[in-house]
Chains A and B, each alone.
Chain A
Amino acid sequence: MDQQRLIDVRDLRVQFPVEGGVVKAVDGVSWHIDRGETLAIVGESGSGKSVSALSLLRLTELGGGRIVSGEIEFRRKSGAVVDMVQQPLPVLRDIRGNEISMIFQEPMTSLNPVFTIGFQIVEAIRLHQGKSRREADELALEMLNLVRMPEAEKRLDEYPHQLSGGMRQRAMIAMSLACRPALLIADEPTTALDVTIQAQILDLIKTLQREIGMAVLFITHDMGVVAEMADRVVVMYRGEKVEEGPVEEIFHAPQHPYTKALLDAVPRLGAMRGQPLPMKFPNLEYGRDASEPATAAKPAADAAPRPADAGPLLEVDGLVTRFPVGGGLLGKPKAAIHAVENISFSLGVGETLALVGESGCGKSTTARTILRLQEPTRGRVVFGGRDITKLGRGAMESVRRQMQMIFQDPFASLNPRLSVADLIGEPLRIHNLASGKALQDRVADLLRRVGLGPEHARRYPHEFSGGQRQRICIARALALNPNLIVADEAVSALDVSIQAQIVNLMLDLQAEFGISYLFVSHDLAVVERISHRVAVMYLGQIVELGPRAAVFEDPRHPYTRKLMSAVPVADPRQRRTDLRLMTDEIPSPLKPWGFEPETLPLEEVSPGHFVMPH
């Protein structure tokens, strides 16, 4: 093996036994990593990227996976080259956490909830380094400082649930780097984090990689993160490697049709520059018919023409939603979560307004409050000319015919015991709009509209893929011909290719029926594609509101700017070079009971573009 080579994977095959056969999770894949290098393995769900990573440490065996053939040669610190596939467990344990470390997607569940952060780091140190208790304690503190953990000393004695998501991932990194490994495997380490926290963690990994001189294997589905992090890239699709190359080549001269399709489906922040209206993704369908030539992106022409002077369909005025916390049967609550804090906006007919922000900013609560799945603390929601916050149950049910919701998790929002026909027909039944043959015809028609066939009507949700389930949800939302659809992170849980299809479908439906969307999302790049106007939320308030082009091309509020700059751009040439080792956290929306924050009215900086004074 080449002296520079750290790990060499050859013809790796990993299989999982299932009823009546095996799943070939990884099927004959080869790649290598040199010292100090960053290799990214990228792919959608089911591509085998995570299994590849886990099999390096033979952790696939925990889930019943078996390495059926291939070699994983690793150069140990001693210089000896060993084949990980053949090593007995004691040797593996000596390498795990010591020479090869791993961090995972969910820092909350990956840390043991009943032990302190300090204990878990010290455990790893003492296991491999034979240090005394005191030396290990000192090193643990040093590691927490190294990962720029705020108030490191205090954190040693804290439990995982007392830390924020970003701090938990810092603790995981501290634990895995305590033994100065030659290779760090990072399996989707930022996927569960907010975009500003993601930027911090990515920068931290880059910095530490330089300081420690380790190689990194980065597993991700996010092309933006790949462009940000990788030296070389391996693209996987259904257990096979479809392409490998330096990051520049992968992004700018992709060879394989799947790589091309994947890159086309990736929403890129800034791709819509100079384009005022929503635009569909180029309609590439790899896997359905790979030979079909890519159709060019069709902009405004088949996107919705926005009716200029139609009055607003929805007006939200001074909306406040708070959740009381603490206090029992006796006495008033101790505190309240200020989820939505005095927000106002309007939404026109056939228009898409996006609510963007990070977790906890109140965007989902706003959506739920507008549909009165959550009662507002105060404020008005005027829909079709009347305030619906005061409506009684019966009146509200008739309003609900005109406003529908699509949720993030399509599987959870479909009752598993009902067939697709019953699910899509449910709103029609509830409002006594159709029955018998008419109902069947309507369901078949709706299925066609969302790209499914009438033959799907008799099946159950578990028989469909994630994208198909979201199509079913959309069909159900369309059943009543609503004027407004509230989409709460409706494409966030989907693979990029499926996400692109659903966005295109939503744009088609808007063009056809003139539906208004309130599009709630944390993903700025998708928002840029789909929306006419954008509202940026932070801590329950709207800090910036305006036409999409204005907000994206001329962000005025510091938070909007921070948010924009934190999004990794799917282009290695635009990689950030200044590593900012920030550790700031999103403040808590928990406030003492009775607290009334000061809210400033938005100022208009250009026509229709409002910014909160700062």
Chain B
Amino acid sequence: MIALILKRLVATAFVMAFVAFFVFGLLHLAPGDPAAVIAGDIATKEDIERIRATLGLDLPFHTQFLNWLGAIMQGDLGTSIFSGRPVSELILQRVEPTLALTTTTILLSVVVAIPLGIAAAWRAGSWIDRTMMGFAVLGFSVPVFVFAYLLIMVFAAQLKLVPVMGYVSPFKDLGGFLRAIALPTVALGVTYVALIARITRASMLEAINQDYIRTAHAKGLGIVPILFRHALRNASVPIVTTVGIGIALLIGGVVVTESVFAIPGLGRLTADSILRRDYPIVQGVILIFSGIYVLINLTIDIIYILVDPRIRY
């Protein structure tokens, strides 16, 4: 068991090393000379050379990579080209709204999607199932920003139930926070709900068709313990795994949702930085998001190694 966890840790380290290398490579390949940008319009060639030397840009590629990696380990993600401030500082300022949005979305999605998926699997082929599957396909098909604007047009512009955009911190005004976060959460959650509901249905359906469910029926158990105790326990591995993998989808959606609803989070920072061609920030955010994603999935894997009786060694 410990060997299995160690194996996962080593694999994760390799994955993160590749991500770091990839991100650094992109930074390196990005057009425009950071030294020239920092030096400004009136700088001479010598000025630029001097800045390049202080930034270590004249060193060979692998030395630069190692220096960069060392800096990251100490929390230094570089400097924004646009504002000249440290990337890590800019990112820290923007963490709260993003964390709030993703948390509400994950909670809402899981609470809605899993019962839906179970109901659909239980009554496979019925109208409940077909309706749910229909909504799931729609949820996959309507892009986040299209759905977001539909919500704005109906609930904010026409019905005026909630503000069109903006963000309120829950620590300042909880009611305001909930009203402001409602539409973004729903918009961001739709695809995620569709994803989780579908995998829940599929893995529950597979579990329900197993012999041990027939045994449970033959024992005289009712439908509730059969579904929620016997089937769900077995179906939970793919469901939880998908919740974890789906976070990648969610992160992509965050960038768009925050941009649409003008939420000052990490996603908005990314979108703005793309328009300003502020690559150090883009790379920093990618690195952070990928790291979080990998860590969450590593945690899920390890929990399963610890909990699932079928995994031996």
Residues in chain A within 8 A of chain B (CB atoms): 57, 59, 62, 92-98, 101-102, 104, 106, 109-116, 123-124, 127-128, 159, 161, 172, 175-176, 326, 328
Q: How far is the CB of B239 from chain A (nearest CB, A)?
A: 14
A112-B216 contact in complex given A93-B222, A104-B211, C-beta closer than 8 Å: yes
What are the 10 A-B residue pairs with the smallest beta carbon separation, nearest first? A96-B220, A97-B219, A97-B220, A109-B211, A112-B212, A159-B309, A102-B218, A93-B220, A110-B211, A110-B215
One of B212, B219, B230 near A124 (C-beta < 8 A)? B219
| B230, closest chain A residue (CB) | A112
0/1 per residue, B270-313, Cβ < 8 Å to A?
00000000000000000000000000000000000000111011
Instruction: List chain B residues, Cβ under 8 A from A114.
Output: 233-234, 308-310
**Looking at the complex, which one of A57, A123, A128, A161 makes contact with B218 (CB distance below 8 Å)?**
A57
Q: Which of B216, B220, B310 contacts A98 (CB 8 A)?
A: B220
User: Which single residue of chain A is at the shortest CB-CB distance from B218?
Assistant: A102
A445 to B234, CA, bound (A): 51
If A112-B234, A123-B221 are given as contacts, then 20 extra A-B residue pairs at C-beta distance below 8 Å, sorted by A number, are A57-B217, A57-B218, A59-B214, A93-B220, A93-B221, A97-B221, A104-B214, A109-B210, A109-B212, A110-B211, A111-B212, A112-B215, A112-B216, A114-B233, A115-B233, A124-B219, A124-B220, A161-B310, A175-B219, A328-B7
Could you tell me if B217 and A96 are in contact, using CB atoms closer than 8 angstroms? yes
Contact of B214 among A95, A110, A115, A326 (CB under 8 A): A110
28 contacts between A and B (CB under 8 A): A59-B217, A92-B220, A93-B221, A96-B220, A97-B219, A98-B220, A102-B218, A104-B215, A109-B211, A110-B211, A111-B212, A112-B212, A113-B212, A113-B309, A113-B310, A114-B234, A114-B310, A115-B230, A115-B233, A116-B309, A123-B219, A127-B219, A127-B221, A159-B310, A161-B312, A175-B219, A328-B3, A328-B7
Minimum Cβ distance to chain A for residue B207 (Å): 10
What are the interface flags for B1-24 relative to A under an 8 Å C-beta threshold, 1 for contact and 0 otherwise?
001000100000000000000000
Chain B residues with CB under 8 Å of A57's CB are: 217-218
Bound Cα distance A114, B207 (Å):
12
Tell me which residues across on chain A come within 8 A of B219, comparing CB atoms.
96-97, 123-124, 127, 175
Binding site for A on B (CB under 8 A): 3, 7, 210-222, 230, 233-234, 308-310, 312-313
Q: Are A95 and B310 in contact (CB under 8 A)?
A: no
Q: Complex: how many Å from CA A97 to CA B216?
A: 9
Residue with the highest number of chain A CB atoms closer than 10 Å, among B7, B210, B215, B222: B215
Please determine whether B309 and A97 come into contact, CB atoms closer than 8 angstroms.
Answer: no
Residues of A within 8 A of B216 (CB): 112
Whole-angstrom CA separation of A93 from B309 in the bound complex: 29
When distances are taken between beta carbons in the complex, the residues of chain A under 8 Å from B234 are: 112-114
Asked if residues A110 and B212 are in contact (CB atoms below 8 Å), the reply is yes
Interface of B is mostly: helix
**Nearest Cβ in chain A — how far from B5, in angstroms?**
13
- Residue from A93, A109, A112 whose CB has the most chain B CB atoms within 10 Å: A112
A361 to B310, CA, bound (A): 25
Which A residues are CB-close (under 8 A) to B230?
Answer: 112, 115
B220 touches A128 (CB 8 A): yes
B-side contacts of A106, CB under 8 Å:
211
Do B220 and A95 touch (CB < 8 A)? yes
The answer to whether A62 touches B220 (Cβ under 8 A) is: no
Instruction: State in angstroms the CA–CA spacing of A563 and B3 once bound together.
Output: 41
Chain A residues within 8 Å of B211, by CB: 104, 106, 109-110
Q: Are A127 and B214 in contact (CB under 8 A)?
A: no
- Within the complex, the shortest CB–CB distance from A67 to chain B, in Å, comes to 16
Question: Which residues from A are CB-within-8-Å of B220?
Answer: 92-98, 124, 127-128
The smallest beta-carbon distance between A524 and chain B, in angstroms, is: 29
Across the interface, do B218 and A96 meet the contact criterion of CB distance under 8 Å?
yes
Given contacts A109-B211, A114-B309, contact A97 B7 (CB under 8 A): no
| Contacts between chains A and B (CB distance < 8 A), count | 76
On whether the beta carbons of B218 and A101 are closer than 8 Å, the reply is: yes
Closest to B215 in A: A110
Shortest distance in angstroms between A541's beta carbon and chain B's nearest beta carbon?
28
Q: Which residue of A lies closest to B307 (CB)?
A: A114
Q: List the A side residues contacting B7 at CB < 8 Å.
A: 328
Across the interface, A111 reaches (CB within 8 A) one of B215, B221, B222, B312, namely B215
Min C-beta distance of B191 to chain A, whole Å: 30
B3: A residues at CB distance < 8 A: 328
Which residues from chain A contact B215 at a C-beta distance below 8 Å? 102, 104, 110-112, 172
A59 to B218, Cβ gap below 8 A?
A: yes
Alpha-carbon gap, A114 to B307, bound state (A): 10
A294 to B244, CA, bound (A): 66
Docked complex Cα distance between A115 and B308 (Å) = 10
Complexed CA–CA distance, A112 and B217 (Å): 12
- Residue numbers in B under 8 Å from A62 (CB-CB): 213-214, 217
Tell me which residues across on chain B come within 8 A of A176, comparing CB atoms.
Answer: 218
Bound CA span A545–B178, Å: 81
When distances are taken between beta carbons in the complex, the residues of chain A under 8 Å from B233 are 112, 114-115
A111 to B221 alpha-carbon distance, docked (Å) = 14
CA distance A112 to B221 in the complex (A): 13
Complex Cα spacing A328 to B214, Å: 39
- B68 CB to closest chain A CB (Å) equals 29
Q: How far apart sit A164 and B222, CA to CA, in the bound complex (Å)?
A: 29
Q: How far is the CA of A111 from the CA of B220 in the complex (A)?
A: 15
Task: Please name all residues of chain B whose beta carbon is closer than 8 Å to the beta carbon of A116 when the two chains form the complex.
Answer: 309
Instruction: With both chains docked as a complex, state the minimum distance between the C-beta of B237 and any C-beta of chain A, in angstroms.
Output: 10
Q: Bound complex: CA of A124 vs CA of B218, how far in Å?
A: 10
Chain A residue with Cβ nearest B6? A328
Taken together as a complex, chains A and B put the C-alpha atoms of A39 and B37 apart, in Å, by: 91
Write the nearest CB–CB distance from B48 to chain A, whole angstroms.
48
**Bound state CA distance, A263 and B108, in angstroms?**
64
Q: Taking CB as reference atom, which chain B residue is nearest A105?
A: B211
> Which residues from B are CB-within-8-Å of A326?
313
Whole-angstrom distance between the alpha carbons of A241 and B207 in the complex?
34
Measured between C-beta atoms, what is the minimum distance from A135 to chain B in Å?
A: 18
Q: Shortest CB–CB separation between residue B188 and chain A, in angstroms?
A: 33
Separation of A326 and B3 alpha carbons in the complex (Å): 10
- Per the bound structure, the CA–CA distance linking A303 and B230 in Å amounts to 55
Q: Could you tell me the distance between the alpha carbons of A111 and B309 in the complex, rounded to whole angstroms?
A: 13
Question: Which residues of the partner chain B approach A92 to less than 8 Å between Cβ atoms?
Answer: 220
CB distance from B137 to the nearest CB of A (A): 24
Expressed in whole angstroms, the Cα–Cα distance for A111 and B218 within the complex equals 12
B13 to chain A, nearest CB (A): 14
Q: Shortest distance in angstroms between A271's beta carbon and chain B's nearest beta carbon?
A: 35
A57 and chain B: residue at smallest CB distance: B218
Residue of B nearest to A109 (CB): B211
- Complex: chain A residue closest to B212, CB-CB: A112
Please pick, from B218, B308, B310, B313, the residue contacting A97 in the complex, using a CB distance under 8 A. Answer: B218
Q: Smallest Cβ distance from A84 to chain B, in angstroms?
A: 13
Residue of A nearest to B233 (CB): A114
Set of chain B residues within 8 Å of A328, measured between Cβ atoms: 3, 7
A263–B211 alpha-carbon span in the complex (Å): 31
For residue B228, give the distance in angstroms from its CB to the closest CB of chain A. Answer: 13
The residue in chain A whose Cβ has the minimal distance to the Cβ of B313 is A326
B312 neighbours in A (Cβ, 8 Å): 161
Bound-state CA distance A299–B312 (Å) is 53
CB contacts (< 8 Å) of A95 on chain B: these are 220
Tell me the complex Cα distance, A123–B233, Å: 15
Name the A residues within 8 Å of B313 (CB-CB).
326
Cα–Cα, bound, A112→B222 (Å): 16
- Max count, chain B CB within 10 A of own CB: residue among A57, A94, A97, A326: A97
Of B210, B211, B219, B234, chain A has the most CB atoms within 10 Å of the CB of B219
Nearest A residue to B3 via CB reads: A328
* Complex contacts, B212 vs chain A, CB 8 Å: 109-113
Complex contacts, A127 vs chain B, CB 8 Å: 219-221
Least Cβ distance of B114 to chain A in Å? 17
CA of A445 to CA of B188, assembled, Å: 65
